[in-house]
C-alpha cells in the first residue's frame, strides 16, 4: 500500500510540559518499498511508526493509506516490536495463530498457513515450544510470523533486532529481506543502526531531534544480495553517517 504523510506534527504533554516529538513530517512510501527510519534515540521514530499504525493521533496533518485517512489500527498493518511480545503461557503455534479465529479463514486454513510460515524460518519443529524455551532470535522470528499470518499489506517494525547478538542480527536481517521479496509487503523498519539501514533499505529516512524531523531521504541503489565489504556499501554508510552527524 502507498502511505503518504502530509505536514504531520505531534506533541506530548507531560506534567504540564510540552514535548515536540515530531514537526512537519512529509513522506511518501510506495507500495512494496523497504524503508528504514533512521536516527538517534528520541528523534521520534517510534512515535512516527505508531502514528502510521494508527495507534496514536497527530496534532496536525494527516496520514493516507491508498488515499484513505488512517484513523485507527487495522489488520492491513502488522507490528513487530523490539521487546519480545509473545504470550509466555502459549506455545509457538498458539502464539502465531492467536486472534486468527476472528478472521474469515477456517481454523484449519489458519493453522496450515501458520505452519508454512514457521517452516520458512526454520521453526517447523518448534511449534510446541514455549517462549522461555526459545532463543532471542527464535522469539523475534515467531513475532514476525505472528504478524505475517494476519496477511497485512504493511509491516511496521520497531528496532526488532536491536536486542540480538550480531550474528543473529545479521541472520534475521537476511531473513526479513527474503520474506519481504517473497511476500511483497511494504516494510517500514525503525533502527538507530546505520549498518542495518544500509543493509536493509531501498529508502533511508534520516531523522534528527528537537523536534523530531526528517533531514534527508536517501534512495539507495545498492544491488542485492548486499555485501558489507563492498565499496558501494561502505560509501553509502559513510554518506549516511555524515548526514546523521551534520
- The residues binding Mg ion (CB under 5 A) are 46
Kind plus residue range of the DSSP H or E element containing 20:
strand 17-29
Q: Which is nearer to ligand ADP, 45 or 153 (CB)?
A: 45
- The CA-based dihedral angle spanning residues 223, 185, 61, 73, taken in that order and rounded to the nearest 10 degrees: -150
Q: Which is nearer to Mg ion, 54 or 117 (CB)?
A: 54
Give me the least distance between CB of 66 and ligand ADP, in Å please.
Answer: 25
Return the DSSP state at 211. T
Q: Is 66 helix (H, G, I), strand (E, B) or coil?
A: coil
Give me the least distance between CB of 103 and Mg ion, in Å please.
Answer: 30
Q: Which is nearer to ligand ADP, 14 or 167 (CB)?
A: 14
Query: Among Mg ion, ligand ADP, none, what binds residue 42 when CB lies within 5 to 8 Å by partner kind?
Result: ligand ADP
Query: Among ligand ADP, Mg ion, none, what binds residue 14 when CB lies within 5 to 8 Å by partner kind?
Result: ligand ADP
Q: What is the number of H-type helices and E-type strands within the chain?
A: 7, 10
Give me the least distance between CB of 215 and ligand ADP, in Å please.
Answer: 13
Whole-angstrom distance, CA of residue 1 vs CA of residue 216: 22
Integer-rounded Cα radius of gyration of the chain: 18
Give me the least distance between CB of 223 and ligand ADP, in Å please.
Answer: 29
Sign, CA dihedral 234-238-239-243, equals: positive
Sign, CA dihedral 147-148-153-159, equals: positive
520458512: which residue's cell? Answer: 120
Instruction: Yes or no: say if 62 and 80 are a contact pair by the CB < 8 Å rule.
Output: no
Give me the least distance between CB of 3 and Mg ion, in Å please.
Answer: 19
User: Which residue sits closest to Mg ion, CB atoms considered?
Assistant: 46
Q: Which residues bind ligand ADP (CB under 6 A)?
A: 12, 14, 19, 21, 39, 41-47, 212
Give me the least distance between CB of 207 and ligand ADP, in Å please.
Answer: 7
Angle of helix 136-148 relative to helix 166-183, nearest 10 degrees, comes to 20
Q: Which is nearer to ligand ADP, 127 or 158 (CB)?
A: 158
Q: Is 188 helix (H, G, I), strand (E, B) or coil?
A: strand
Query: Among ligand ADP, Mg ion, none, what binds residue 43 when CB lies within 5 to 8 Å by partner kind?
Result: ligand ADP
Q: Which is nearer to Mg ion, 46 or 186 (CB)?
A: 46
Spatial CB neighbours of 228, under 8 Å, sequence gap ≥ 6: 195, 199
Q: Which is nearer to Mg ion, 51 or 121 (CB)?
A: 51
Amino acid at each position: 500500500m502507498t502511505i503518504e504523510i502530509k505536514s504531520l506534527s505531534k506533541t506530548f504533554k507531560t506534567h504540564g510540559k510540552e514535548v515536540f516529538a515530531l514537526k512537519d513530517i512529509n513522506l511518501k512510501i510506495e507500495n512494496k518499498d523497504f524503508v528504514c527510519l533512521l536516527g538517534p534515540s528520541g528523534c521520534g521514530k517510534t512515535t512516527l511508526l505508531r502514528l502510521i499504525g494508527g495507534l496514536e493521533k497527530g496534532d496536525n496533518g494527516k496520514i493516507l493509506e491508498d488515499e484513505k485517512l488512517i484513523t485507527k489500527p487495522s489488520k492491513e498493518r502488522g507490528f513487530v516490536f523490539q521487546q519480545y511480545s509473545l504470550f509466555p503461557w502459549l506455545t509457538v503455534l498458539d502464539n502465531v495463530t492467536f486472534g486468527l479465529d476472528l478472521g474469515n479463514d477456517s481454523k484449519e486454513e489458519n493453522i496450515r498457513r501458520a505452519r508454512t510460515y514457521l517452516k520458512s524460518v526454520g521453526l517447523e519443529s518448534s511449534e510446541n515450544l514455549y517462549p522461555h524455551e526459545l532463543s532471542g532470535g527464535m522469539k523475534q522470528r515467531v513475532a514476525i510470523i505472528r504478524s505475517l499470518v494476519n496477511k497485512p499489506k504493511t509491516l511496521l517494525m520497531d528496532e526488532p533486532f536491536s536486542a540480538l547478538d550480531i550474528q543473529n542480527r545479521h541472520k534475521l536481517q537476511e531473513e526479513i529481506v527474503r520474506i519481504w521479496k517473497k511476500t511483497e509487503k511494504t516494510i517500514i523498519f525503525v533502527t538507530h543502526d546505520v549498518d542495518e539501514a544500509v543493509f536493509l533499505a531501498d529508502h533511508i529516512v534520516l531523522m534528527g531531534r528537537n523536534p523530531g524531523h526528517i533531514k534527508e531521504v536517501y534512495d539507495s541503489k545498492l544491488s542485492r544480495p548486499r555485501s558489507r565489504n563492498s565499496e558501494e556499501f561502505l560509501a553509502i554508510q559513510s554518506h549516511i553517517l555524515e548526514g546523521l552527524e551534520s
